[in-house]
Amino acid sequence: MAETQCNGSSGKQFKLPEIKFTKLFINGEFVDAISGKTFETMDPRSGDVIAKVAAGAKDDVDLAVKAARDAFDHGKWPRMSGFDRRKIMMKFANLIDENLEELAALDSLDGGKLLTLGKAIDIPEAANTLRYYAGAADKIHGETLKMSRAMHGYTLREPIGVAGIIIPWNFPTTMFFIKVSPALAAGCTTVIKPAEQTPLSALYYAHLAKLAGIPDGVINVVTGFGSTAGAAIASHMDIDMVAFTGSTEVGRLVMEAAAKSNLKPVSLELGGKSPLIIFDDADVDIAVDLARLAIFFNKGEICVAGSRVYVQEGIYDEFVKKSAEKAKSWVVGDPFDPSVQQGPQVDKKQFEKVLKYIEHGKREGATLLTGGKSCGEKGYYIEPTIFTDVKDDMLIAKDEIFGPVMSLMKFKTVEEAIERANKTKYGLAAGIVTKDLNLANRVSRSIKAGIIWVNCYFAFDKDCPFGGYKMSGFGRDNGLHALDKYLQIKSVVTPLYDSPWL
């Protein structure tokens, strides 16, 4: 079995960010939870406590919703021209750029994310997402209708109202702005619950929003637990819609609570078990690198992780050999270290869950090619792990592990690859590696998933809609389609008298 570099604690000292904001942000102010309770947010590099954060619950959500409702019903944000909202959102984006180092460090400390990628991708792209939707704010308009009788009809696209936004821990900054940016552009007000594992950057963004001039009550951040604060948002009678990213299991609860309360619409971006299909004509070296990226990026904590890798039999043996060799160069360690490629899992619970799935794989008869163990003297580090001889009915091939665990499988025909790729309850993403354009087109149209990447992976873009099929959810993030969930359509009809034209 190949060995991998694992320096869970490098011994180096890195400058850590000052924790400035730990209270709830409601109606433009940082406040304690009504109960006075707090919870500990932990450093996954060591398991040590970073800070105690206000534990918001139902009463706090009620206050946040009241602030958001007042800001929507009586405030200036939804009544402001799109052009004026755009200017404020642009200022917000500029403030993110000015605080890039500190924001990236917060996500690294709180979530174990690589600092180098935070500075290069997560934080700059968050600012650019704001700018993208700022550019759309003054271009939201309805249609003039061609009525079949003497009537003049047109549509308005109006902000839906108060948006409840519940975001996950794997991309705390990215998910904050994928949801919040189109909501702001549409003219909505928001109540946001960040994941309890990674609450710190969301509170900092609330502070920057205030500095940018976003009116009080438009952005409210309630930190706390899903079973309390999250449940209160999903079931609240005065929230007009909920946008949720997280597990399929919790997505069910959100949808149920929304239906049982005020029948609010929901947008759900849920789990995945994405296939990466590699055909015989692929460049093996490129395919190996893509497969490694697809599962080990962000320590496998990504909903679209290419965790099921199907390799055609003609190149399978070479692919296995090179994958094992590549694993030797993958560096696991402190996310503040620029030489590291994989940080720790987000917390002890996720760490233990991944290790449990690895044991399942061994017991079910899969062959452990690389990794398979925790590493480092402290913290939640796991070796990048590859299984071969995996069957489609094994747990490691069916369940979303959300960790650095690849299931590697062989196939013969195109038809077999398509059938096996679709043999999952999920449908979030898929990858195809081939030099044959006709084959790529055939397979991409046959896979039941919301986004298909051909000869690439993680090719996200602000203008490219993203969302799932089947039990991976519904609704779209990114692109102009993301505005739809924060808008509702009103038709206006008036009669025409003595008009020469219909």
Chain Cα centroid distance, residue 84:
29
Rounded to a whole number of angstroms, the distance between the first and last alpha carbons of the chain is 76
Chain Cα centroid distance, residue 412:
34
* φ/ψ bin of 42: left (φ > 0), alpha (ψ from -120 to 50), beta (otherwise): beta
Instruction: Name the 3-class secondary structure at 6.
Output: strand
Q: Is 456 a catalytic residue?
A: no
Compute the distance between CA of residue 308 and CA of residue 396 in angstroms, rounded to an integer.
9
H-assigned helices in 195-347:
200-212, 231-235, 248-260, 284-296, 313-327
Compute the distance between CA of residue 218 and CA of residue 215 in angstroms, rounded to an integer.
6
Compute the distance between CA of residue 135 and CA of residue 117 in angstroms, rounded to an integer.
26
Tokens of 471: 């039990």
Instruction: Give the closest residue to 268 by CA, choosing from 23, 476, 495, 44.
Output: 476
Compute the distance between CA of residue 487 and CA of residue 136 in angstroms, rounded to an integer.
13
Q: Is the CB of residue 75 less than 8 Å from the CB of residue 213?
A: no
Tokens of 42: 């932990």
Q: Is the CB of residue 11 less than 8 Å from the CB of residue 335?
A: no
Separation in Å, CA 68 to CA 162, 210, 226, 291, 411: 6, 14, 20, 44, 53
- Catalytic pick among 196, 269, 301, 400: 269
Q: Output the CA angle 406-410-411, nearest 5 degrees.
A: 130
Q: What one-character DSSP code corresponds to residue 96?
A: H
Q: Is the CB of residue 280 less than 8 Å from the CB of residue 315?
A: yes
Compute the distance between CA of residue 54 and CA of residue 224 in angstroms, rounded to an integer.
7
Q: Is 303 a catalytic residue?
A: yes
- Catalytic pick among 301, 303, 383, 400: 303
Q: What are phi and psi of 353, to 5 degrees?
A: -65, -45
Inter-axis angle of helices 172-186 and 200-212, nearest 10: 30
**Residues with active-site annotation:** 269, 303
